């Protein structure tokens, strides 16, 4: 028998501990294949001979006053289309996500989603076999404080 899946709502708090961000209000979108993380001021650079991307994130929804600088190794590039129909190359990274008491690796497309409410959108590839989504529910895994508390307990072990 496989691993038990986590029951979530369509909206949850998630943590990306390797990026040093506070919990992000996250949309769970099982109808979307890819997962995306809102970012701006993206810049490719080399670190230890490997391509990396540096980017800023506004971690709070509808609030552009706080910006957090992050960086990650580039896993690849993702060709997408912006809202004006123009093709864009976005960066693909791999990092760890934490929801509830569980952590797992996730691939994220780094793209500017300023017009979107959510800073993190998890698609099918990130949730397949891990989550069961109740589209009528929100925050079944608790508050942003619960995510932070669970993360610090993991770090203490």
CATH architecture for the domain at 12-156: Beta Barrel (2.40)
Q: Where are the domains of the chain?
A: 12-156
Q: How far is CA 36 from CA 110, 120, 147, in A?
A: 6, 6, 20
* Predicted structure pTM score: 0.86
Between CA 29 and CA 121 the distance in angstroms is 7
* 1 pLDDT higher than 60: no
113 pLDDT band (50/70/90 cuts)? confident
Whole-number percent of the chain with pLDDT over 70: 86
Amino acid 155: pLDDT: 55
Between CA 149 and CA 116 the distance in angstroms is 28
Q: Report strand pairing: 87-99 vs 40-47.
A: unpaired
């Amino acid at each position: 028998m496989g691993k038990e899946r986590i029951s979530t709502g369509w909206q949850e708090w998630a943590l990306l501990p390797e990026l040093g961000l506070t919990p992000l209000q996250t949309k769970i979108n099982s109808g979307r294949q890819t997962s995306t993380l809102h970012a701006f001021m993206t810049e490719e650079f080399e670190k230890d001979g490997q391509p990396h991307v540096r980017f800023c994130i506004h971690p709070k929804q509808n609030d552009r006053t706080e910006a957090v600088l992050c960086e990650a190794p580039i896993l690849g590039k993702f060709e997408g289309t912006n809202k004006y129909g123009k093709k864009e190359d976005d960066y693909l990274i791999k990092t760890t996500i934490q929801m509830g008491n569980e952590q797992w690796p996730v691939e994220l497309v780094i793209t500017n989603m300023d017009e979107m409410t959510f800073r993190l959108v998890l698609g099918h590839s990130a949730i397949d076999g891990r989550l069961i989504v109740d589209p009528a529910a929100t925050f079944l895994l608790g508050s942003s404080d619960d995510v932070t508390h669970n993360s610090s307990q993991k770090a203490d072990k």
